Amino acid sequence: MVGKLLVRGMIAGVVAGLLTFGFARVVGEPQVDHAIAFEEQASKAREAHEHVDQAQGGHVHEAEEAELVSRETQAGFGLLTSVVVYGAAFGGLFALAFAFIYGRTSKLPARPLAAWLALAAFMALVVVPSIKYPATPPAVGDPETIGYRTALFFLMIAISLVTMVFALKMRKVMMRQLGQWNASIAAGLLFVVIIAAVQLALPSFDNVPDGFPAALLWKFRVAAMGMQVIMWTTLGLLFGVLAENKLRDLHSQPVAR
């Protein structure tokens, strides 16, 4: 059964990736183009100031390296490939998580379980790390710290996942004394408190250059979050339907004697 769910998870992920690509192409890529244009203008301004010093010092201005991948390819086939592969990979992982939880730690039917699991994954993998380290377009952020910032972003994801699992386990413990509703509220507050403490402790970055349009930064981050909303909403709802149909077929099959 796990293998069949895995295939359906990857199918749902591919569909989610295609829908996400359409949104990114229409809404996200124009913001990237504007950010690149701002970066190019800033770079030309810096070169203009440095040109006189280079000439006086006898330095020869080196020719710029040709770009390995064109902007058209990045925004088209490259974006499509990366988003679809991302969707298929997370769709497979999502299906494995669903198969592990279904019938073991949760008695929910397939579709509600898939929806709640997608919401939990969206919160842990997207919302929590993005609050501390939001997406940044080209020309925003110090290139020398990109590795450090990326490592902190993935660290925030790991902490978010561990904290969510811990909060869910504590919910089970608290249900015996507080009941299901109160235990759920207490577990949610526990998750928020731990995440808030961790985010306050981790370093922050404010590398937005002077003159960068605030509206452009906001639109880019809204587009980035919108892509994730489409990805996880489609994945949760579509996989729920596919999994429910397959599980119904399996349960309806006669038992061999």
Rounded to whole angstroms, the Cα distance separating 84 from 80 reads: 6
The model carries a pTM of: 0.81
Could you tell me the two tokens for 30? 């124009």
Q: Quick one: which H or E segment has residue 135?
A: none
pLDDT at 172 exceeding the cut of 80: yes
Q: Interhelix angle for 110-122 vs 214-252, to 10°?
A: 150
Sequence ranges of the domains in the chain = 1-51+73-136+212-257, 141-207
Summarize pLDDT for 89-146 with one digit per residue, the tens. 999 999 999 888 887 766 778 889 999 999 999 999 999 999 998 888 776 766 777 7
- Rounded to an integer, what distance in angstroms lies between the CA atom of residue 97 and that of residue 102? 9
pLDDT tens across 80-89, in order? 989 999 999 9
If you count DSSP H runs as helices and E runs as strands, how many of each does the chain have, helices first? 8, 0
